[in-house]
């Protein structure tokens, strides 16, 4: 992301990106619309939007998601989409949504979305990356590594039981 | 939103945090994975989180590239 805007991409290649993102999203269980925007965002690569019903939810994938996917030392597109599907599960899964609705901060939601994304990821590397992200975020909140890993494991077991 | 922080930055932060006690980060994880619960003042967590962290901290050379190879074979 060396420039403020992504390099030009033909409409056909943009459609191919959209189709790939949609395919991954469906494989991960995402319900709703998937769109690709050939712009740089402030999101890291994708964003989940809550609709009036699950079928109206929106997953928007941005250009940097594909650039990150090309970088072997960054998140894959699958991991980025899995994290957003984690947000959808927090909002839509009957048992999970009931436990968290109105009770968690934005920071906590990001951590839980990463854990859920890790659980549904097919590739071990994606699972590991999302667990690492959740751990790093918890450590920002002045948790010790000992406490952070214990808390995350407790959350993992709770979410796994609910999922 | 997954946020802009790159994986290698996260890896560095975790290594730094786990090494703060003076231990090698991998050794820190290993000790907690093998510690009996009764001997720890804080009950050690189960396997999933620690196993994931250990694999993640072992380096960027494994994992994602394997994922990409799998994907291109589809």
What number is the ipTM of this complex? 0.88
Residue B38, pLDDT above cutoff 70: no
When the pLDDT of each residue in chain A is averaged and rounded to a whole number, the result is 94
pLDDT in tens, A72-103: 999 999 999 999 999 999 999 999 999 998 88
Q: Residue B37's pLDDT is what?
A: 57
Rounded distance, CA A114 to CA A4, Å? Answer: 27
* Helix, coil or strand: residue A49: strand
Best of B52, B54, B63 to substitute, by most chain A Cβ atoms within 10 angstroms, is B52
Pairwise CA distance, residues A144 & A152, whole Å: 12
Residue A11 has a pLDDT of: 97
Task: Choose the closest CB to A132 out of B52, B64, B65.
Answer: B52
| pLDDT of B72 above 80 | no
Residue A32 predicted with pLDDT over 90: yes
Range A17-39 average pLDDT: 98
Average pLDDT on A26-50 reads: 96
- Chains A–B, number of C-beta pairs less than 8 Å apart: 125
* Diameter over CA atoms, chain B: 48
pLDDT number for residue B46: 58
Partner-chain contact A123 B55, CB within 8 Å: no
Residues 6+ apart with CB under 8 A from A146: B32, B42
Q: What is the reported pLDDT for B14?
A: 92
Mean pLDDT value of segment A50-61: 97
Residue B43 binned pLDDT confidence (cut-offs 50, 70, 90) = very low
- Rounded to an integer, the average pLDDT of A34-62 is 96
Phi, psi torsion values for B5, nearest 5 degrees: -70, 130
Q: Are A57 and A49 in contact (CB under 8 A)?
A: yes
Q: Residue B74 has what pLDDT?
A: 37
In this prediction, residues A120-131 reach a mean pLDDT of 97
Contacts of A125 in chain B (CB under 8 A): 55, 62-64, 66-67
Q: In chain A, what residues touch B14 (CB-CB under 8 Å)?
A: 132, 135-136, 139
Question: Touching check for B65 and chain A: CB below 8 Å?
Answer: yes
Give me the sheet containing A46-49, strands edge to edge.
A33-37, A58-62, A46-49
- Option in B50, B53, B67 nearest A76 (CB): B67
pLDDT of residue B70: 42
Q: Per the CB < 8 Å rule, is B45 touching A154? A: yes
In A28-123, where does DSSP find H-type helix? 63-70, 77-92, 94-100, 106-120
What's the CA gap between B27 and B25, in Å, rounded? 5
In sign, the C-alpha dihedral spanning B26, B31, B37, B41 is: negative
- Percentage of residues of chain A with pLDDT beyond 90: 87
Whether A65 shows a pLDDT value over 80: the answer reads yes
Contact B19, B37 (CB under 8 A): no
Q: B31 — contact with chain A (CB < 8 Å)? A: no
């Amino acid at each position: 992301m060396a420039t403020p805007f992504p390099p030009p991409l033909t409409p056909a290649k943009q459609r191919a990106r959209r189709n790939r993102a949609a395919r991954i999203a469906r494989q991960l269980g995402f319900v709703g619309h998937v769109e690709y925007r050939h712009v740089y965002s402030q999101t890291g690569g994708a964003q989940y939007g809550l609709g009036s019903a699950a079928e109206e939810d929106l997953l928007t994938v941005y250009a940097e998601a594909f650039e990150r996917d090309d970088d072997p030392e960054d998140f894959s597109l699958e991991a980025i989409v899995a994290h957003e599907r984690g947000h959808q599960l927090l909002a839509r899964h009957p048992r999970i949504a009931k436990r968290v609705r109105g009770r968690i901060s934005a920071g906590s939601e990001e951590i839980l979305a990463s854990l859920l994304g890790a659980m549904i990821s097919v590739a071990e590397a994606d699972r590991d990356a999302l667990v690492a992200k959740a751990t790093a975020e918890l450590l920002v909140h002045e948790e010790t590594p000992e406490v952070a890993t214990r808390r995350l494991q407790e959350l993992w077991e709770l979410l796994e039981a609910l999922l | 939103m997954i946020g802009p922080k790159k994986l290698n930055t996260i890896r560095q932060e975790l290594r730094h945090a786990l090494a703060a006690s003076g231990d090698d980060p991998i050794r820190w994880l290993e000790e907690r994975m093998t510690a009996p619960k009764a001997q720890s003042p804080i009950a050690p967590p189960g396997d999933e989180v620690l196993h994931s962290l250990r694999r993640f901290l072992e380096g960027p050379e494994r994992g994602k590239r394997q994922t990409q190879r799998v994907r291109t074979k589809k």
